[in-house]
């Protein structure tokens, strides 16, 4: 696969799960990486471990729903790491897990402010610099829930559906100016989010046994592939790990 030497990536939600794996893999491929999560100490621990393995990484505490905070991260990334070529909008929450009729309006709005507005905040903060610098890659971590309603997940499904449209809107406005925007559905992967889902028992996804979840490494491989020129022809699309053609393309048979 292509070499990411000299590239700079910002990965949100990089303290654990898919985001941690992607940050580690991008750094192993030569990219300098800025890791953010609300828990800055947890993101910092991952960054230190990347650095100990010979990679280049920094971390900051940031709630992606706060545009000013995202702007500070983008400024710091450019100043400390020398640019910003790749944005991975991975931060996300499954809560509130509740049926619409009994859901808490504030919690519902909070979900949208992280899963959808948080991703917009990242795009809004990086895009002017990417456009003036000749291009960049944006990966919005989506979900099958963007296309399929699931009981108890109205906020999550609506946020991810909005995110799928945001990916298309970025592609429409900026693909002719060097921006490669992708949606990426990782499949059902074995992370803390799935542990919360299992504990809820609220819908068919929550009843998938842990042993049937996909390893995080497979989704990491798929997402990092999108950050390379090999994925140029997929730009503008929602790419899903459950797609057999894509799995073959990244060597997962």
Contacting residues toward ligand NAP, per CB under 6 A: 12-19, 36-39, 42, 62-65, 90-93, 114, 118, 141, 143, 186, 188-189, 191-194
CB-nearer residue toward ligand NAP: 5 or 21:
21
- In 10 A of CB 167, how many CB atoms? 26
Q: How far is residue 142's CA from residue 126's CA, in Å, rounded to a whole number? A: 19
Coil, strand, or helix at residue 118?
helix
- The minimum distance between CB 94 and ligand NAP, in angstroms, equals 7
Neighbours of 183 (CB within 10 A): 27
CB atoms within 10 A of CB 229: 10
**Closest CB to ligand NAP among residues 15, 167:** 15
**End-to-end CA, the chain:** 16
Rounded least distance, CB 196 to ligand NAP, Å: 7
How far apart, in whole angstroms, are the C-alpha atoms of residue 10 and residue 131?
16
Positions annotated as catalytic residues are 156
C-beta nearest to ligand NAP: residue = 17
- The 8-class DSSP code of residue 189 comes to B
The residue (of 168 and 190) whose beta carbon lies closer to ligand NAP is 190
Q: Which is nearer to ligand NAP, 82 or 215 (CB)?
A: 215
- Least distance (Å) between residue 237 CB and ligand NAP: 16
| Least distance to ligand NAP, CB of residue 98, Å | 17
DSSP 16-74: SHHHHHHHHHHHHTT-EEEEEESSHHHHHHHHHHHHHTT-EEEEEE--TT-HHHHHHHH
| Residues whose CB is less than 8 angstroms from the CB of residue 44 and which lie 6 or more positions away in sequence, other chains included | 35, 59
Q: How far is the CB of 95 from ligand NAP (least distance, A)?
A: 10
Q: Specify the residue, 2 or 247, whose C-beta has the smaller distance to ligand NAP.
A: 247
217, two tokens = 């490494």
């Amino acid at each position: 696969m292509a070499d990411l030497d000299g590239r700079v990536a910002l990965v949100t939600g990089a303290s654990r799960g898919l985001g941690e794996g992607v940050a580690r893999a991008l750094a192993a491929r030569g990219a300098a990486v800025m890791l953010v999560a609300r828990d800055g100490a947890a993101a910092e621990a991952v960054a230190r471990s990347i650095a100990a393995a010979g990679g280049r990484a920094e971390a900051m505490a940031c709630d992606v729903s706060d545009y000013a905070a995202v702007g500070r991260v983008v400024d710091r990334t450019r100043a400390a790491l020398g640019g910003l070529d790749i944005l991975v909008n991975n931060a996300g929450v499954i809560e509130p897990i509740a049926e619409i009729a009994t859901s808490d309006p504030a919690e519902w709005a909070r979900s949208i402010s992280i899963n959808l507005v948080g991703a917009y905040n990242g795009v809004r903060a990086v895009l002017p610099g990417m456009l003036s610098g000749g291009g960049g890659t944006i990966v919005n971590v989506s979900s099958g829930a963007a296309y399929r309603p699931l009981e108890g997940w109205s906020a999550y499904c609506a946020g991810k559906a909005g995110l799928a449209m945001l990916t298309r809107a970025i592609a429409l406005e900026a693909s002719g100016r060097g921006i490669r925007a992708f949606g990426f559905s990782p499949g059902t992967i074995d992370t803390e989010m799935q542990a919360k889902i299992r504990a809820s028992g609220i819908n068919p996804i929550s009843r998938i046994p842990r042993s049937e979840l996909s390893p995080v490494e497979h989704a990491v491989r798929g997402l990092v592939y999108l950050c390379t020129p090999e994925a140029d022809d997929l730009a503008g699309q929602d790419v899903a790990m459950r797609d057999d053609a894509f799995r073959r393309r990244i060597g997962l048979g």
